[in-house]
Amino acid sequence: MENESILQQKMQALKTGTTTVGLACSDGVILASDRRATMGYFIASKDVQKVFQIDEKIAMTVAGSVADAQFLVRLLQSECRLYKLRYGRNMTTKNAASLLANMMFQYKYFPYWVQLIVAGYDEKAEVYSIDMLGGVTEERFTSTGSGSPVAYGVIEEGFKSGGAIKENAAVAAKAIAMAMRRDAATGEYVDVVTITKSGFKRLEKSDVVKLLEN
């Protein structure tokens, strides 16, 4: 009963609500999210980061409990740095996703209240969806958070499988924008990140506006 009470308190804590998406393209990956954090029906923050750089060519999106998400981001960033110090090379996207999934599986009876996307570019673009119990699947595209049903509809309609980032960036941005219209926990503005063989890049707000106008 004590653990159940703690879990209920955790579920009522600050949440990102959120919609995030991840798309694997021919030349890299696209990650996008909104920036709103909610506490029940209260908008707790209008500028919360939900797409984080983990390594040179790896990033992660978060949806769920803010505290849990921030801890897991810091943990994975540290593990990637340690891996590079030990082995003299960067951790692969697949290994990073597997490591994070294993961490979460260890706590499945008192889980981290999050949904995650880990994506990156090694020899090719890779996108992994990780649930709160440590389940991990590789996807061509995926979405997490309370607005994900809306986002999936936009992506299913517009995503060009095998297409380049240039062809699919507007789809990712519009998926978040549409979720913002229908999901109260998703809001403020659209944040878009790309990862290619050149590395991690966060788009300027003006560039995102242009994508939404296309």
Q: CA 115 to CA 27: how far, in whole Å?
A: 25
In the structure encoding, which two tokens stand for residue 26, read together?
């021919």
- Is residue 38 part of the annotated active site? The answer reads no
Annotated active-site residue in 16, 18, 19, 186:
18
Q: What are the backbone dihedrals phi and psi of residue 158, each rounded to the nearest 5 degrees, phi first?
A: -110, -15
Compute how many other C-beta atoms are within 10 angstroms of the C-beta atom of residue 27: 16
Q: How far apart are the first and last CA of the chain?
A: 53
E strands within the chain?
Answer: 19-25, 28-33, 37-39, 42-45, 51-55, 58-64, 114-121, 125-130, 136-139, 141-145, 191-196, 199-202
Q: CA 173 to CA 35: how far, in whole Å?
A: 13
Residue 149's H or E segment, with its range, is helix 148-158
E strands within 34-185?
Answer: 37-39, 42-45, 51-55, 58-64, 114-121, 125-130, 136-139, 141-145
In the structure encoding, which two tokens stand for residue 97, read together?
């996703």
Catalytic machinery residues: 18
